[in-house]
Structure 1
Amino acid sequence: MSSTKFILGLFDDPDVMMHGIDKLQKNSVPIYDVYTPMPIHGIDDKLGIKSSRLGYAAFMFGCLGGTTIFSIIYYTLVHDWPMNIGGKPAFAVPNFIPATFEWTVLFTAFGMTITFFFATHLFPGRAPRVMELRATDDRFVIAIDAKGNIPHEDITNILKEAGAVEIKHNDRKYVSYE
Protein backbone atom coordinates (compact mmCIF):
# COMPACT_ATOMS: atom_id res chain seq x y z
CA MET A 1 0.00 0.00 0.00
CA SER A 2 1.36 3.40 -1.00
CA SER A 3 1.97 6.16 1.53
CA THR A 4 0.94 8.81 -1.01
CA LYS A 5 -1.86 11.00 0.32
CA PHE A 6 -2.21 13.47 -2.55
CA ILE A 7 -1.29 13.64 -6.20
CA LEU A 8 -0.52 17.20 -7.28
CA GLY A 9 -0.67 18.34 -10.88
CA LEU A 10 1.23 21.61 -11.38
CA PHE A 11 0.28 23.82 -14.31
CA ASP A 12 1.85 27.06 -15.54
CA ASP A 13 -1.23 28.43 -17.31
CA PRO A 14 -4.74 28.89 -15.85
CA ASP A 15 -6.46 27.91 -19.12
CA VAL A 16 -4.52 24.65 -19.29
CA MET A 17 -5.42 23.99 -15.64
CA MET A 18 -9.13 24.56 -16.41
CA HIS A 19 -8.80 22.06 -19.26
CA GLY A 20 -7.17 19.65 -16.78
CA ILE A 21 -10.12 20.03 -14.40
CA ASP A 22 -12.50 19.18 -17.26
CA LYS A 23 -10.42 16.14 -18.22
CA LEU A 24 -10.29 14.85 -14.64
CA GLN A 25 -14.04 15.33 -14.15
CA LYS A 26 -14.73 13.60 -17.47
CA ASN A 27 -12.77 10.58 -16.19
CA SER A 28 -14.59 10.68 -12.80
CA VAL A 29 -11.47 11.56 -10.81
CA PRO A 30 -12.50 13.36 -7.60
CA ILE A 31 -10.61 16.65 -7.14
CA TYR A 32 -9.68 17.48 -3.54
CA ASP A 33 -8.91 21.16 -4.13
CA VAL A 34 -7.35 23.64 -6.55
CA TYR A 35 -4.72 26.18 -5.48
CA THR A 36 -3.96 29.25 -7.59
CA PRO A 37 -1.81 32.35 -7.10
CA MET A 38 -4.70 34.58 -8.25
CA PRO A 39 -8.49 34.39 -8.43
CA ILE A 40 -9.84 32.63 -11.51
CA HIS A 41 -13.33 33.45 -12.73
CA GLY A 42 -15.66 30.45 -13.00
CA ILE A 43 -13.55 27.94 -11.10
CA ASP A 44 -16.01 27.77 -8.18
CA ASP A 45 -18.87 26.75 -10.46
CA LYS A 46 -16.69 24.21 -12.26
CA LEU A 47 -15.67 22.57 -8.95
CA GLY A 48 -19.20 22.76 -7.51
CA ILE A 49 -18.27 24.99 -4.57
CA LYS A 50 -21.25 26.55 -2.83
CA SER A 51 -21.42 30.29 -2.29
CA SER A 52 -20.05 31.65 0.99
CA ARG A 53 -22.24 32.20 4.04
CA LEU A 54 -20.02 35.00 5.36
CA GLY A 55 -22.69 37.56 4.43
CA TYR A 56 -25.02 36.02 7.01
CA ALA A 57 -22.30 36.22 9.64
CA ALA A 58 -21.67 39.89 8.77
CA PHE A 59 -25.38 40.65 9.13
CA MET A 60 -25.52 38.92 12.52
CA PHE A 61 -22.44 40.80 13.79
CA GLY A 62 -23.98 44.06 12.62
CA CYS A 63 -27.27 43.27 14.38
CA LEU A 64 -25.36 42.41 17.55
CA GLY A 65 -23.42 45.70 17.47
CA GLY A 66 -26.49 47.83 16.74
CA THR A 67 -28.55 46.13 19.42
CA THR A 68 -25.76 46.39 21.98
CA ILE A 69 -25.19 50.13 21.66
CA PHE A 70 -28.88 50.93 21.27
CA SER A 71 -29.56 49.03 24.50
CA ILE A 72 -26.72 50.79 26.33
CA ILE A 73 -27.82 54.25 25.17
CA TYR A 74 -31.48 53.53 25.92
CA TYR A 75 -30.73 52.26 29.41
CA THR A 76 -28.35 55.13 30.18
CA LEU A 77 -30.43 58.03 28.83
CA VAL A 78 -33.96 56.82 29.56
CA HIS A 79 -33.88 54.61 32.66
CA ASP A 80 -30.69 55.26 34.61
CA TRP A 81 -30.12 58.99 34.20
CA PRO A 82 -32.85 60.79 32.22
CA MET A 83 -32.11 64.46 31.59
CA ASN A 84 -34.33 67.23 30.30
CA ILE A 85 -32.27 68.92 27.62
CA GLY A 86 -34.16 71.79 26.00
CA GLY A 87 -37.53 70.17 26.60
CA LYS A 88 -36.75 67.26 24.29
CA PRO A 89 -37.93 63.78 25.21
CA ALA A 90 -35.43 61.39 26.82
CA PHE A 91 -36.13 58.75 24.17
CA ALA A 92 -35.27 60.69 20.99
CA VAL A 93 -34.40 58.01 18.44
CA PRO A 94 -32.71 60.35 15.90
CA ASN A 95 -30.07 61.11 18.54
CA PHE A 96 -29.26 57.38 18.82
CA ILE A 97 -28.68 56.80 15.08
CA PRO A 98 -25.02 57.95 14.67
CA ALA A 99 -23.69 55.88 17.57
CA THR A 100 -25.81 52.89 16.56
CA PHE A 101 -24.50 53.04 12.99
CA GLU A 102 -20.87 53.34 14.13
CA TRP A 103 -21.12 50.37 16.50
CA THR A 104 -22.87 48.32 13.81
CA VAL A 105 -19.94 48.91 11.46
CA LEU A 106 -17.38 48.33 14.24
CA PHE A 107 -18.87 44.99 15.34
CA THR A 108 -19.21 43.87 11.70
CA ALA A 109 -15.59 44.69 10.91
CA PHE A 110 -14.11 43.02 13.98
CA GLY A 111 -16.51 40.08 13.76
CA MET A 112 -15.67 39.41 10.12
CA THR A 113 -11.94 39.65 10.82
CA ILE A 114 -12.24 37.07 13.59
CA THR A 115 -14.51 34.89 11.44
CA PHE A 116 -12.03 35.04 8.54
CA PHE A 117 -9.13 34.00 10.78
CA PHE A 118 -11.20 31.18 12.26
CA ALA A 119 -12.45 29.89 8.90
CA THR A 120 -9.06 29.98 7.16
CA HIS A 121 -6.88 28.93 10.11
CA LEU A 122 -4.66 31.97 9.52
CA PHE A 123 -4.38 33.17 13.09
CA PRO A 124 -1.54 35.63 13.69
CA GLY A 125 1.66 33.76 14.49
CA ARG A 126 0.59 30.53 12.82
CA ALA A 127 2.30 29.23 9.70
CA PRO A 128 -0.15 28.90 6.81
CA ARG A 129 -1.11 25.44 5.59
CA VAL A 130 0.08 25.15 2.01
CA MET A 131 0.05 22.01 -0.09
CA GLU A 132 2.60 23.31 -2.63
CA LEU A 133 4.67 26.41 -1.94
CA ARG A 134 4.79 27.49 -5.59
CA ALA A 135 0.98 27.76 -5.64
CA THR A 136 1.39 31.14 -3.96
CA ASP A 137 3.87 32.32 -6.58
CA ASP A 138 3.56 31.08 -10.15
CA ARG A 139 1.97 27.61 -10.33
CA PHE A 140 -1.62 26.43 -10.57
CA VAL A 141 -2.10 23.22 -8.58
CA ILE A 142 -4.80 20.56 -8.78
CA ALA A 143 -4.76 18.32 -5.71
CA ILE A 144 -6.28 14.85 -6.01
CA ASP A 145 -6.89 12.61 -3.01
CA ALA A 146 -4.80 9.49 -3.67
CA LYS A 147 -6.85 7.27 -1.35
CA GLY A 148 -9.55 6.85 -4.01
CA ASN A 149 -10.17 3.74 -6.04
CA ILE A 150 -8.44 5.00 -9.21
CA PRO A 151 -4.85 3.76 -9.76
CA HIS A 152 -2.16 6.42 -9.36
CA GLU A 153 -0.72 5.71 -12.81
CA ASP A 154 -4.05 6.49 -14.47
CA ILE A 155 -4.31 9.82 -12.63
CA THR A 156 -0.72 10.66 -13.56
CA ASN A 157 -1.42 9.87 -17.23
CA ILE A 158 -4.58 12.02 -17.23
CA LEU A 159 -2.67 14.94 -15.72
CA LYS A 160 0.14 14.55 -18.29
CA GLU A 161 -2.40 14.49 -21.14
CA ALA A 162 -4.05 17.62 -19.71
CA GLY A 163 -0.77 19.53 -19.86
CA ALA A 164 0.64 19.36 -16.34
CA VAL A 165 4.17 20.72 -16.16
CA GLU A 166 5.01 18.65 -13.09
CA ILE A 167 3.31 15.88 -11.11
CA LYS A 168 4.10 15.23 -7.47
CA HIS A 169 3.08 12.46 -5.10
CA ASN A 170 2.85 13.91 -1.58
CA ASP A 171 2.97 11.74 1.50
CA ARG A 172 2.05 14.71 3.72
CA LYS A 173 -1.03 16.87 3.64
CA TYR A 174 0.72 20.22 4.02
CA VAL A 175 4.17 21.65 3.49
CA SER A 176 5.63 23.62 6.37
CA TYR A 177 7.72 26.75 6.01
CA GLU A 178 10.40 25.60 8.46
Structure 2
Amino acid sequence: MAHSVIHAIYTDDDVLMNAVKEVKKKHLHINEIYSPFPVHGLDKAMGLAPTRIAITAFMYGCLGLTVAIVMMNFIMIEDWPQDIGGKPSFSYIENMPAFVPIMFELTVFFAAHLMVITFYMRSKLWPFKKAENPDLRTTDDHFLMEIDADGQNAQELADFLVTTGATEINLVANEEA
Protein backbone atom coordinates (compact mmCIF):
# COMPACT_ATOMS: atom_id res chain seq x y z
CA MET A 1 0.00 0.00 0.00
CA ALA A 2 1.35 3.40 -0.97
CA HIS A 3 2.04 5.80 1.86
CA SER A 4 2.60 9.45 0.95
CA VAL A 5 4.60 11.99 2.94
CA ILE A 6 5.56 15.59 2.38
CA HIS A 7 9.17 16.66 2.74
CA ALA A 8 9.53 20.32 3.64
CA ILE A 9 13.09 21.60 3.39
CA TYR A 10 14.35 24.53 5.47
CA THR A 11 17.69 26.35 5.38
CA ASP A 12 17.72 27.88 8.87
CA ASP A 13 17.29 26.20 12.25
CA ASP A 14 15.35 29.13 13.73
CA VAL A 15 12.88 29.05 10.84
CA LEU A 16 12.58 25.27 11.31
CA MET A 17 11.85 25.72 15.02
CA ASN A 18 9.08 28.24 14.30
CA ALA A 19 7.70 25.96 11.57
CA VAL A 20 7.53 23.01 13.99
CA LYS A 21 5.55 25.16 16.43
CA GLU A 22 3.15 26.24 13.66
CA VAL A 23 2.69 22.65 12.43
CA LYS A 24 1.99 21.49 16.00
CA LYS A 25 -0.61 24.30 16.39
CA LYS A 26 -2.47 22.83 13.41
CA HIS A 27 -2.32 19.38 15.08
CA LEU A 28 -0.39 17.77 12.24
CA HIS A 29 1.84 14.76 12.93
CA ILE A 30 5.55 15.19 12.21
CA ASN A 31 7.10 11.81 11.37
CA GLU A 32 10.72 12.88 11.56
CA ILE A 33 13.05 15.85 11.29
CA TYR A 34 16.45 15.39 9.66
CA SER A 35 19.08 17.88 10.75
CA PRO A 36 22.83 18.27 10.13
CA PHE A 37 23.35 19.13 13.80
CA PRO A 38 21.33 18.95 17.04
CA VAL A 39 18.83 21.81 17.37
CA HIS A 40 18.34 22.84 20.98
CA GLY A 41 14.70 22.60 22.07
CA LEU A 42 13.51 20.75 18.97
CA ASP A 43 12.53 17.63 20.91
CA LYS A 44 10.41 19.70 23.27
CA ALA A 45 8.78 21.60 20.39
CA MET A 46 7.93 18.30 18.69
CA GLY A 47 6.40 16.97 21.91
CA LEU A 48 8.77 14.01 22.20
CA ALA A 49 9.04 12.16 25.51
CA PRO A 50 12.23 12.77 27.49
CA THR A 51 14.99 10.23 27.09
CA ARG A 52 15.53 7.51 29.68
CA ILE A 53 19.20 6.92 28.88
CA ALA A 54 20.22 8.60 32.16
CA ILE A 55 18.30 5.97 34.11
CA THR A 56 20.09 3.21 32.22
CA ALA A 57 23.41 4.96 32.82
CA PHE A 58 22.75 4.90 36.57
CA MET A 59 21.80 1.21 36.48
CA TYR A 60 24.89 0.36 34.41
CA GLY A 61 27.05 2.34 36.85
CA CYS A 62 25.56 0.40 39.77
CA LEU A 63 26.31 -2.83 37.91
CA GLY A 64 29.94 -1.72 37.40
CA LEU A 65 30.28 -0.80 41.07
CA THR A 66 28.88 -4.19 42.10
CA VAL A 67 31.25 -6.04 39.77
CA ALA A 68 34.19 -4.02 41.16
CA ILE A 69 33.28 -4.75 44.79
CA VAL A 70 32.70 -8.47 44.21
CA MET A 71 35.84 -8.80 42.08
CA MET A 72 38.13 -7.01 44.55
CA ASN A 73 36.68 -8.84 47.54
CA PHE A 74 37.26 -12.21 45.87
CA ILE A 75 40.70 -11.44 44.47
CA MET A 76 42.27 -9.45 47.32
CA ILE A 77 40.49 -10.82 50.44
CA GLU A 78 39.19 -14.35 49.83
CA ASP A 79 41.27 -15.96 47.07
CA TRP A 80 44.76 -14.59 47.66
CA PRO A 81 45.08 -12.27 50.68
CA GLN A 82 48.41 -10.48 50.72
CA ASP A 83 50.47 -8.77 53.38
CA ILE A 84 51.25 -5.43 51.77
CA GLY A 85 53.38 -3.02 53.78
CA GLY A 86 52.81 -4.97 56.98
CA LYS A 87 49.02 -4.62 56.69
CA PRO A 88 47.28 -7.95 56.17
CA SER A 89 44.08 -8.09 54.13
CA PHE A 90 41.57 -9.69 56.48
CA SER A 91 38.46 -7.66 55.67
CA TYR A 92 37.16 -5.73 52.70
CA ILE A 93 35.96 -2.76 54.79
CA GLU A 94 39.42 -2.14 56.28
CA ASN A 95 40.98 -2.10 52.81
CA MET A 96 38.20 -0.29 50.94
CA PRO A 97 39.98 3.12 50.71
CA ALA A 98 42.66 1.48 48.56
CA PHE A 99 39.95 0.08 46.27
CA VAL A 100 38.12 3.38 45.61
CA PRO A 101 39.97 4.17 42.33
CA ILE A 102 39.15 0.73 40.95
CA MET A 103 35.51 1.06 42.00
CA PHE A 104 35.29 4.47 40.31
CA GLU A 105 36.93 3.28 37.10
CA LEU A 106 34.73 0.20 36.71
CA THR A 107 31.60 2.27 37.46
CA VAL A 108 32.47 4.71 34.67
CA PHE A 109 33.62 1.94 32.33
CA PHE A 110 30.39 -0.05 32.63
CA ALA A 111 28.16 3.04 32.40
CA ALA A 112 29.90 4.47 29.34
CA HIS A 113 30.29 1.30 27.31
CA LEU A 114 26.86 -0.15 28.05
CA MET A 115 25.19 3.22 27.33
CA VAL A 116 26.81 3.30 23.89
CA ILE A 117 25.70 -0.27 23.19
CA THR A 118 22.17 0.54 24.40
CA PHE A 119 22.04 3.68 22.24
CA TYR A 120 23.09 1.76 19.14
CA MET A 121 20.57 -1.00 19.78
CA ARG A 122 17.68 1.41 20.50
CA SER A 123 18.39 3.54 17.43
CA LYS A 124 18.98 0.43 15.30
CA LEU A 125 22.48 1.50 14.28
CA TRP A 126 25.00 -1.17 13.46
CA PRO A 127 28.00 -1.51 11.19
CA PHE A 128 27.29 -1.45 7.46
CA LYS A 129 23.69 -0.32 7.93
CA LYS A 130 22.31 1.52 4.92
CA ALA A 131 21.60 5.20 5.62
CA GLU A 132 17.93 6.15 5.88
CA ASN A 133 18.41 9.81 5.06
CA PRO A 134 15.86 10.91 2.42
CA ASP A 135 17.89 13.93 1.23
CA LEU A 136 21.68 14.17 1.33
CA ARG A 137 21.58 17.94 1.81
CA THR A 138 20.48 17.36 5.41
CA THR A 139 23.99 16.12 6.20
CA ASP A 140 25.41 19.49 5.15
CA ASP A 141 23.27 22.59 5.61
CA HIS A 142 19.53 21.85 5.15
CA PHE A 143 16.77 20.67 7.47
CA LEU A 144 13.96 18.34 6.40
CA MET A 145 10.58 17.95 8.07
CA GLU A 146 8.62 14.83 7.11
CA ILE A 147 4.83 15.03 7.55
CA ASP A 148 2.16 12.41 6.76
CA ALA A 149 0.10 13.45 3.73
CA ASP A 150 -2.40 10.58 3.85
CA GLY A 151 -5.99 11.70 4.31
CA GLN A 152 -5.12 15.37 3.79
CA ASN A 153 -5.18 17.80 0.92
CA ALA A 154 -1.54 17.73 -0.15
CA GLN A 155 -1.66 21.05 -1.98
CA GLU A 156 -3.23 22.81 0.99
CA LEU A 157 -0.62 21.30 3.30
CA ALA A 158 2.19 22.31 0.93
CA ASP A 159 0.89 25.89 0.79
CA PHE A 160 0.78 26.00 4.59
CA LEU A 161 4.37 24.72 4.83
CA VAL A 162 5.55 27.40 2.39
CA THR A 163 4.07 30.05 4.70
CA THR A 164 6.14 28.59 7.57
CA GLY A 165 9.35 29.30 5.65
CA ALA A 166 9.99 26.08 3.72
CA THR A 167 12.20 26.67 0.70
CA GLU A 168 11.24 23.42 -1.04
CA ILE A 169 8.26 21.05 -0.78
CA ASN A 170 8.27 17.49 -2.15
CA LEU A 171 5.44 14.95 -2.13
CA VAL A 172 6.92 11.47 -1.82
CA ALA A 173 5.08 8.16 -2.17
CA ASN A 174 6.72 5.39 -0.12
CA GLU A 175 5.97 1.69 -0.47
CA GLU A 176 5.41 0.11 2.94
CA ALA A 177 6.93 -3.29 3.46
CA contact (8 A) 1:8 1:168 kept: yes
**Aligned twin of 1:25:** 24
Structure 1: how far apart are the matches of 2:133 and 2:38? 16
| Structure 1 residue identity aligned to 2:145 | I
Provide, for residues 36-65 of structure 1, a one-character-per-residue CA deviation record: whole Å limited to 9, x for no partner.
212222222211122211111111111111
Q: 1:116 Cα shift?
A: 1.9
Task: Name the TM-score, length of structure 1 as normaliser.
Answer: 0.85
Q: Confirm or deny: 8 A CA contact 2:82 2:88 kept in the other structure.
A: no
Match for residue 176 of structure 1?
none
Secondary structure of 2:141 counterpart: coil
SS in structure 2 of the partner of residue 63 of structure 1? helix
Whichever residue aligns with residue 108 of structure 2, its letter is: V
Q: Output aligned runs, 1:1-178, within 5 Å.
A: 3-85=2-84, 86-90=86-90, 91=92, 92-147=95-150, 149-172=151-174
Please, which runs of 5 or more residues in structure 2 have no aligned partner? none
SS at match of 1:7: strand
Question: Is the 8 Å Cα contact of residues 121 and 128 (structure 1) preserved in structure 2?
Answer: no
More strand by share: 2
CA distance in 2, matches of 1:20, 1:40: 13
Residue aligned with 2:27, SS: coil
Worse overlay, 111-120 or 17-26: 17-26
What are the superposed Cα offsets for residues 24-46 of structure 1, whole Å, 9 maximum, x if unpaired?
22322221122221222222221
Give, as a single letter, the amino acid of the residue that structure 1 aligns with 2:122: A
Q: Are the equivalent residues in 2 in contact too, given 1:19–1:162 (CA < 8 A)?
A: yes
Alpha-carbon contact 1:4-1:169 (below 8 Å) kept: no
User: Is the 8 Å Cα contact of residues 29 and 150 (structure 1) preserved in structure 2?
Assistant: no
Q: 1:29 touches 1:155 (CA, 8 Å); kept in 2? A: no
After TM superposition, the runs of 4+ consecutive aligned structure 1 residues lying more than 4 A away are: none
SS at 2:40's partner residue?
coil
Sequence identity (%): 33
- The SS at the match of 2:43 is helix
Aligned residues: 172
- What CA RMSD, in Å, does the superposition of the two structures yield over aligned residues? 2.2
Q: Distance in 1 between matches of 2:169 and 2:161?
A: 8
Unpaired runs of 5+ in structure 1?
174-178
